[in-house]
A and B are shown apart, each in its own frame.
Chain A
Amino acid sequence: MMKRKIVNFKVNGESREVLVESNALLVNVLREELGLTGTKYSCGTGQCGSCTVLVNGKPALSCLMLAVAVDGADIVTIEGLAKPDGSLDPVQEAFLDHSAIQCGFCTPGMVIMGRDLLNKNSNPSESEIQEHIKGTLCRCTGYTSIVRAIKSCGK
């Protein structure tokens, strides 16, 4: 039988305790055990960025992390970017305003990377944005509006 472990971590501000198999990937635990399907599973090999979440404040690929390895961590998924009253993060608003969404699969990762960049650099240039979303692929190739949306949040 596969070894199981209890893992405690915070997800979107809430403490969670989950029993996971020791080879379970964080992305699958978030989606299947916790029902947080905003985080997308695509390539599963760390090449596309659609499973991006914040782990202790830093963006990371949840398909390249074991769930057992986040014991004690603070995780924020796309569901946790909005405020508790449901009002959206300015980056999410900007994606709506700029229609920066086509199929939507890359959107959670793009929004999180946009938020991460803006946290460090309040007025990023177009090339800084491009550099930062390098690891997040949009198969619809809708990069122009994505970059524009993130840029519109700069001040």
Chain B
Amino acid sequence: MNEIDYITPKNLEEVFRAVEKKKRKIKFIAGCTNVIPYMRGEAISPELLIDLSSLENLNYIREENGIIAIGALTTISKLTASEIIRNQSPILFSAASLLGNPLTRNRATIGGNLADASPAADMAPPLLALEAFVHTKRGEGEGREISLDKFFLGPNKTVLAEDEIITHITFSKPKDSARGIYIKLGFRNSMAISVVSIALMIEMEGKVCQKARVALGAVSPTPIRVYRLEKNLEGKEIDQEIIQECSVILKEEISPISDIRASAEYRKLATSVLFKRAIQEVLKGEKT
């Protein structure tokens, strides 16, 4: 690793003062489960590490007036232990339970997982399906509220400025009639990086799908919502024909790469299989 300096600001003011003063390459850190391997592999070479872990008030899970708010420093373990998450957003709960392993979950944070912007980030598909917003702060200004589907720009790239931090994530509590599922396909049980992951949420009225949200991980440069697929489900009775149509749309909408984990061709095939499995599971009626 190159020469680096390290500070632990205690509040946002200190963060932004440090950012202003130092004209060095900065990197915000929290759980460090990705940052340390990046630094050791020289994928990044920051000169100043600003450790956000000691910031107060960024570590919480709250439900207020139908909005669920999660502080950026909330660890994945904390999500898996939260009754609010388990009951109100089971797809986020199940994605959290499948992220890495108990050791990484104890350190990795929800804000870090999004800011890292891996195409395979486990938190992204469920939060996309939940239509989450990322709330940020930069300097003394008001801060931004960014819809998660506008947040990712490419592998490890987001709309965040270098000196902008995520403060919290919010989403509306899903309707009681909403059903959802998160499925992650990886090649081993532990520490698996997704080969394909899918988060699906639908609201049905009788046999008709009123609202559909479908998000995918690891099959495009960023985690994505599949709008065309959602439109093709909404307002319709979902039968085998529709599902078949959707799986064709899916293959057109994604642009996976071939890497050490899988070929592009395999990912396309696996995505359509996962989609079919997800929708059939959800239509069975269990609220997951």
Contact = CB atoms under 8 A, between A and B. Distances in A.
Interface of A: 1-3, 5, 22-23, 25, 44-47, 49, 52, 58-61, 63-66, 68-69, 71, 113, 116, 131-132, 134-137
B6 A68 contact: yes
A134 B103 CA distance: 9
Nearest to B97: A131
Given A2-B3, A23-B4, A45-B37, A69 B102 contact: no
A61 B40 contact: no
A94 B32 CA distance: 33
B158 interface: no
Interface of B is mostly: mixed
B106 A58 contact: yes
Contact of A69 (B5, B8, B33, B104): B8
Contacts of A5: 6
23 contacts: A2-B3, A3-B5, A3-B6, A5-B6, A22-B6, A22-B49, A23-B3, A47-B191, A49-B101, A49-B103, A59-B102, A59-B103, A64-B33, A64-B37, A64-B104, A69-B32, A71-B8, A116-B102, A134-B189, A134-B190, A135-B100, A135-B103, A136-B103
Which 7 A/B pairs are nearest by Cβ-Cβ distance?
Answer: A135-B101, A134-B190, A134-B101, A135-B103, A22-B6, A23-B1, A68-B6
Interface string B227-238: 000000000000
B53 interface: yes
B197 to A, nearest CB: 18
A3 B4 contact: yes
Contacts of B6: 3, 5, 22, 66, 68-69
Interface in B137-187: none
Contacts of A64: 32-33, 36-37, 104, 107
Given A1-B3, A64-B37, A66-B51, 15 more contacts: A3-B5, A22-B4, A25-B36, A45-B37, A49-B103, A61-B33, A61-B107, A63-B36, A64-B36, A65-B107, A69-B6, A69-B32, A135-B104, A135-B191, A137-B190
B166 to A, nearest CB: 19
Interface residues of B, number: 27
B3 A46 contact: no
B39 interface: yes
A68 to B, nearest CB: 5
**Best-buried of B32, B102, B103 by chain A (most CB within 10 Å):** B103
Contact of A60 (B2, B5, B40, B107): B107
Contact of A23 (B8, B39, B104, B107): B39
A64 B105 CA distance: 12
A126 to B, nearest CB: 14
B156 to A, nearest CB: 17
Contacts of B4: 3, 22-23
Nearest to A44: B40
A82 B17 CA distance: 45
